[in-house]
Structure 1
Amino acid sequence: MSLNPVRHITIDCHDPHALARFWIEVTGYLPDEEPDDDEVLITARVPDAPGLLFIRVDDAKVVKNRVHLDIEPPAGTRDETVERLLAAGASIFEDHRAPDGMGWVTMRDPEGNEFCVERSAVERGLSTP
């Protein structure tokens, strides 16, 4: 029995397959997709972590997300992760990095959904490289 009550985090989108591929790049999750399906689930490599479920919808995103994901880089730095995600199709929405290295970057995925990239555990002094 899972102790985590959150099974999936669902994201409405125009192209679930393309958006799932972007989020696989962000998270390292594993795909579970059918080519003609209007839904794509990607799952974590660790037990009990919620999956990300992308569902095709016709309506466009028009306002800021009410819920977003905060991404902690599992390897490397916040800034390296931001650069990698820019190359994968993300854009910077708001940059909250401070000269002293603190802060985060609010980004948008290819369909405009906001998410934040925080400093890694190493950058926060919580683990060693």
Structure 2
Amino acid sequence: MTSNPIRHITVDARDAVKVATFWAAVTGYDLHDESTAEEALLTPPYPDAPGLLFIAVPEGKTVKNRLHLDVQPPAGTRDEFVEQMTAAGATIFEDHRKPDGTGWVTMRDPEGNEFCVERSAAERAADPAQP
């Protein structure tokens, strides 16, 4: 296989543009010009990365996600990124940070979809003995 076979990762949403706008802040992806409240697409700035597609559905989220994204902060630290995501509308669901600086934070986007924030690449490189 010569390219990534995954074209989009699709997420159900009550308000597709609202949730897509939040995820644009998380990922640095761009909101496609033709996005609507029913269908919003985030296009990646990275070659061969899948887009994120948000499709409006009438029902709200009621159970834990069976699939979620693990996010590595593109700059700064995990804790700074958690603060940025909280300011953008996310909430902390479960905090798995450890006293030694390892661990992650499980968060929820504005509609309750879970995602995890891990340590940044720079944080892991500074302490290669820790995952």
TM range, smaller chain: over 0.9
Verify the 8 A CA contact 1:6 1:50 in the aligned structure 2: yes
Q: Distance in 1 between matches of 2:58 and 2:110?
A: 16
The 3-state SS of whatever aligns with 2:19 is: helix
Detail structure 1 runs of 4+ shifted over 4 Å in the superposition.
none
How far 1:104 moved relative to its partner?
0.2
Structure 2 unpaired stretches of 5+: 127-131
**Displacement after TM superposition at 1:111 (Å):** 0.1
Determine the structure 2 residue equivalent to 1:29.
29
Number of equivalences: 127
Partners in 1 of 2:21 and 2:36 — Cα distance?
Answer: 15
What is the deviation of 1:35? Answer: 5.8
Kindly indicate whether the alpha-carbon contact (under 8 Å) linking 1:2 and 1:48 is maintained by their aligned counterparts in 2.
no
CA deviations on 1:62-117 (whole Å, 9 max, x unpaired) are 00000000000010000000000000000000000000000000000000000000
TM-score w.r.t. length of structure 1? 0.93
Structure-2 residue corresponding to 1:94: 94
Q: How does 1:31-110 map to 2 (within 5 A)?
A: 31-34=31-34, 36=36, 38-110=38-110
The answer on whether the counterparts of 1:72 and 1:118 sit within 8 Å (CA) in structure 2 is yes
Q: Which has the higher helix share?
A: 2
* Matched residue type, 1:55: I
Identity of matched residues, %: 65
> Cα RMSD over matched residues?
1.7
